[in-house]
Chains A and B, each alone.
Chain A
Amino acid sequence: MNAREELLRTEKLSVCFQGGNYVQAVEDVSLSVYKGDKLCIIGETGSGKSIFLLSILQLLGKSAKVTGDALYRGQSLFSASPKELDKIRGGKISYVPQGSGNGMNPLLRNGFQVGEPLMAHCGFSKSEANTRSIELLRKFHLGREEAIAKQYPFTLSGGMRQRVLIAMGVSAEAEIVFADEPTKGLDEKRIKLVIEAFRELKKQTLVCVTHDLSFARSIASRVSVMYAANQVEMADADELFSKPLHPYTRDMIAAMPENGLQFNTGFAPAHGDEKVVGCKYRERCLEHDSRCLKVPPMVNVQNRQVRCWKYV
């Protein structure tokens, strides 16, 4: 694993929000992204997946306090100047946003918006960018691509907009593509198209946040599982799905439709809940014992990482 080139690394990345209520959204997440990785970050709503991505790109508001570090090829993103950041964002790391509602400027044509990163980073002229953006739209099977490129976002349905946003995110062929719930609002057939498109990005590295486990299974080479702001497990996708170590991962995989929808009771503790001591999954975990009252460390088990006392 170490032979591969490391592109992105986070070191004990934590994010907390201090506006009004104190919320710990991400806690001590350390992970590495290697060249060619298809890393999926899975976890339930509110586990801090999206915030984790946004914090790396420094897109959080001022109420967010980010500690730790994120390094792109050894260069700290948190100490980079705005100019360097502009080059990295979009040029090296691009981002496919979550939610399609307001993701596009209502006053600019679709084709222009898809081609914008090309103009900003690859030196394309306006007409070149337009031609390329039509090709990209075709890749995502939008149908009538030339017409769509000339139209404004309000003419698109939610699913179409989502695909246009994906096209926008991958257009500049950045080294790393961050995708935040790219399959949200898409039907099975369109999800297949997204899977195919992502598989085609062979040169590019993908970091994808999703709670669609089947989607994660079909594209991921590695999977990181997050629960209540913590990273609880990190493993190669095949191993994780066939032999999950952390009780939460196991319960989550059991809840997949193909595994019989066996839900575990309860929900993740609220952010910043001070009553929660030790392992945050303790309350719902069927295997907890007295050790779980203390915060479990991240341990390495057979080349994978898991945050559980069972493996210490």
Chain B
Amino acid sequence: MNKKKRRPNTATIFGLIIIGFFVVVALLAEYIAPYDPSALGTAYLPPSAEHLLGTNDLGQDIFSELVFGTRVSLVIGIFSALAVTLIGTVLALTSGYYGGWWDRLVAAITDITMAIPSLPLTMLLIAYLQSGMFSLIIAMSVTAWTGTTRILRSRVKQICEQPYIKIEKTLGVRTPVILFKHILPNLKDILLTRMALSVSGAMMTESGLSFLGLGTFGQKSWGNILHFAFFRNSILRKQVWWYLPPIICISISVLGFMLVGYYGQQRAK
């Protein structure tokens, strides 16, 4: 058996290293963070050996906040990407395979949802839902599934026209088997790509919402740190150690997921 080894390119390896780093940080947050991020202390301390990135207006250690923030940001990003991908896959598989009125309905709903400005709608939903990670994930998924659905649906339609799918139908293979065993593996490339991009999109949205003060209260996330940094005038006070680290973290982690995503997209072509 000659197994062809697929060698991912440098960009993907970089992306994976970045993602891996943040995942490790999120998993081991308790061991990495020197302080409890919600413990109070002396406010507005500049960086020192004791507090690597100083303290905020409540005297909380910013480095610890950052470390624990990784967890929240990643969890929200990954879970809303999962939700988005799940919704998108189910809709795309069923509409692409069955066609007919269901397909037209899905296409219409996708188009309509795409036309709705997503950020205001998300904000509206958050205002009505109870605050917390779960409602944030729901609110963000409500508008984010459209792109994935559209791309997957066209791919499913394309695959359904392939002779082997028709042959499976002729041989009387049951529909779930065709859908999940024959069509789904063919979507693997796009699925992984879209998921990586969805994670980065969701992390961006989460940061934005948290920055606006609509994010997760009580739980530290990067956007949350930025929110307080901004509203406590850290920029005017030239407290670079407060507002810059979260920005860097957001940028790098989003970059990591995007690198993985775009590389996948190249292969999907």
Contact = CB atoms under 8 A, between A and B. Distances in A.
Contacts, number: 70
Contact of B173 (A104, A116, A150, A169): A116
Contacts of A103: 163-164, 167
Interface residues of A, number: 30
Nearest to A82: B175
A121 B53 CA distance: 66
A77 to B, nearest CB: 12
Contact of B171 (A99, A108, A151, A168): A168
A89 B163 CA distance: 16
Given A108-B181, A120-B177, A102 B172 contact: no
B163 to A, nearest CB: 4
Interface residues of B, number: 20
B115 interface: no
Interface string B39-57: 0000000000000000000
A90 B170 contact: yes
Nearest to A168: B171
Among the interface residues A87, A88, A89, A105, which one has the most CB atoms of the partner chain B within 10 A?
A105
Contact of A89 (B172, B175, B181): B172
B190 to A, nearest CB: 14
Contacts of A40: none
Nearest to B183: A105
A94 interface: yes
Contacts of B162: 102
B164 A95 contact: no
A87 B164 CA distance: 19
Contacts of B165: 105
A107 B171 contact: no
Interface string B167-187: 111111111010001100110
A239 interface: no
Contacts of B172: 86-91, 94, 117, 120-121, 172
Contacts of B167: 95, 97, 103-104, 165, 168
Given A107-B185, A108-B181, A108-B182, A86 B164 contact: no
B164 A105 contact: yes
Given A107-B185, A108-B182, A117 B173 contact: yes
A3 interface: no
A90 B173 contact: yes
B166 interface: yes
Interface in B176-211: 177, 181-182, 185-186
B112 interface: no
A149 interface: no
A57 interface: yes
A120 B177 CA distance: 9
B116 interface: no
B181 A95 contact: no
B1 interface: yes
A155 B20 CA distance: 35
A1 interface: no
Contacts of A99: 163
Contacts of B175: 86
A89 B166 CA distance: 11
Nearest to B100: A62
B166 A59 contact: yes
Nearest to A87: B172
Interface of A: 57, 59, 86-91, 94-95, 97, 99, 101-105, 107-108, 116-117, 120-121, 147, 150-151, 165, 168-169, 172
9 contacts: A59-B169, A87-B172, A89-B171, A97-B167, A97-B170, A101-B163, A105-B186, A116-B168, A120-B172
